[in-house]
Amino acid sequence: MADIRDFIEGLPKTELHLHIEGSLEPELMFELAKRNEIDLPYASVEEVRKAYQFTQLQDFLDIYYQGMGVLQTEQDFHDLTMAYLEKVHSQNVMHVEIFFDPQGHTDRGVSFDTVINGISSALDKGREEFGISSKLIMCFLRHLDELSAEKTLDAALFHKTKIHGVGLDSSELGHPPSKFKNVFERARREGFKLVAHAGEEGPPEYVKEALDILKIDRLDHGNRSLEDASLTERLADSQIALTVCPLSNYKLAGVTDMSKHPIKTMLQKGLKATINSDDPAYFGGYMTENYLAVANALPLERDEIITLAQNGIDATFCTEKEKEVMHEKLNAYIAANP
Ligand code: HPA
Ligand code: ZN
């Protein structure tokens, strides 16, 4: 068998849980701050990286919202997205479904159009230059109220061709999925795919609400589902996919030791688990690093790594034909790297 690092590096991958604002590397943060004449509370890139010490989700979110303040113009959003695509292209990622947080920008005076046009033009370029296919998922910030989410959905309707799905992110505890019942119902009627972060910090009950009340098509994180045996069985039976993010789980203290990461247990219990990077600039790694972290620490068998990559294709919002093409690419790689 090929060296595990080489095998994972070359593995054709998909990414289904990535906040584009979370791919803002400190170097680009400084460049954009200079471009937009914004003062940063850090003297250097090293100082920024040193500040990335989190003990819970909220610690990270405070720094994440502060960081995105340098994103002002359409060009900034374009450059941010291109930098991400270039990086994952080098890691053999063939398809991405990425989140963006419009309220994190509109609430500080940057228009919805600026955000979506900058991201979309980069996704188009990434398709042409790198052959990376992509879909965009707009997330509602759950610490804000449902009315704010409704207004965000209204804005999205002007860009329906560019947005494939809607999701739910930000501070989970105290903001259960049921808070967004009406706006998710309307989003479904408008034809959007639905996803939600649940069970990252929140209890299994939040996952059940996401399934039963929001009627999600895919579950983001979902780790705490394992605390509830009947919920775990339900997820296995329905084969609803979980977008798991190992380095994020480690950095936000849900998982204190990578050798205890639940991804292997998830696979053993028949869950459709996938590997993703969440906020790579903040958590220390993109797709390859996330695969490697669990593959080395647990460890994972070659077959389990392959299952994760296959799940990552099955769990996309692509057509069956598009999935087939990606599976063929993956199978060819596996055959060429015994
Ligand atoms: N969880 C919740 N909200 C987020 C995250 C996350 O990991 N990243 C960006 N927004
Ligand atoms: Zn996330």
**How do residues 271-303 score in pLDDT, each as one tens digit?**
999 999 999 999 999 999 999 999 999 999 999
Mean pLDDT value across the chain: 97
Angle at 248 between CA 247 and CA 251, to 5 degrees: 85
pLDDT tier, 324 (very low <50, low <70, confident <90, very high otherwise): very high
CB contact set of 301 (below 8 Å; sequence gap of 6+)? none
What mean pLDDT comes out for the span 86-108? 98
Report the pocket of ligand 1 as residue ranges, CB < 6 Å.
19, 22, 57, 64, 169-170, 197, 200, 248, 278-279
DSSP state of 262: T
Could you tell me the distance, in angstroms and rounded to a whole number, from the CA of residue 61 to the centre of ligand 1? Answer: 7
SS3 labels along 111-174? CHHHHHHHHHHHHHHHHHHHCCEEEEEEEEECCCCHHHHHHHHHHHHHHCCCCCEEEEECCCCC
Domain that holds residue 83: 2-336
What mean pLDDT comes out for the span 183-199? 99
What pLDDT sits at residue 300? 97
Given a cut of 60, is residue 90 above it in pLDDT? yes
Could you tell me the distance, in angstroms and rounded to a whole number, from the CA of residue 169 to the centre of ligand 2? Answer: 6
Tokens of 258: 């990578």
What pLDDT sits at residue 103? 98
What pLDDT sits at residue 254? 82
- Cβ–Cβ under 8 Å, residues 205 and 230: no
Q: Is there a catalytic annotation at residue 324?
A: no
What mean pLDDT comes out for the span 162-190? 98
What pLDDT sits at residue 1? 53
Which ligand 1 atom lies nearest to the CA of residue 169?
A: 3
Given a cut of 70, is residue 87 above it in pLDDT? yes
Query: How far is 248 from 52, CA to CA, in rounded Å?
Result: 12
Backbone dihedral region for residue 222 (phi beyond 0: left; psi -120 to 50: alpha; all else: beta): left
Could you tell me the distance, in angstroms and rounded to a whole number, from the CA of residue 168 to the centre of ligand 1? Answer: 9
Please state the domain count of the chain: 1
Ligand nearest to the backbone CA of 251? 1
What pLDDT sits at residue 182? 99
Which ligand 1 atom lies nearest to the CA of residue 57?
A: 1
DSSP state of 20: G
Which ligand 1 atom lies nearest to the CA of residue 64?
A: 9
CATH at 100: 3.20.20.140
In percent, the amount of the chain with pLDDT more than 70 equals: 99
In percent, the amount of the chain with pLDDT more than 90 equals: 99
Could you tell me the distance, in angstroms and rounded to a whole number, from the CA of residue 27 to the centre of ligand 1? Answer: 21
Q: Would the pTM count as exceeding 0.75?
A: yes
Given a cut of 60, is residue 239 above it in pLDDT? yes
What mean pLDDT comes out for the span 238-253? 96
Query: How far is 291 from 56, CA to CA, in rounded Å?
Result: 22
Which protein residue has the closest C-alpha to ligand 1 atom 3?
A: 170
What pLDDT sits at residue 253? 76
**Residue for token digits 């609430």?**
107
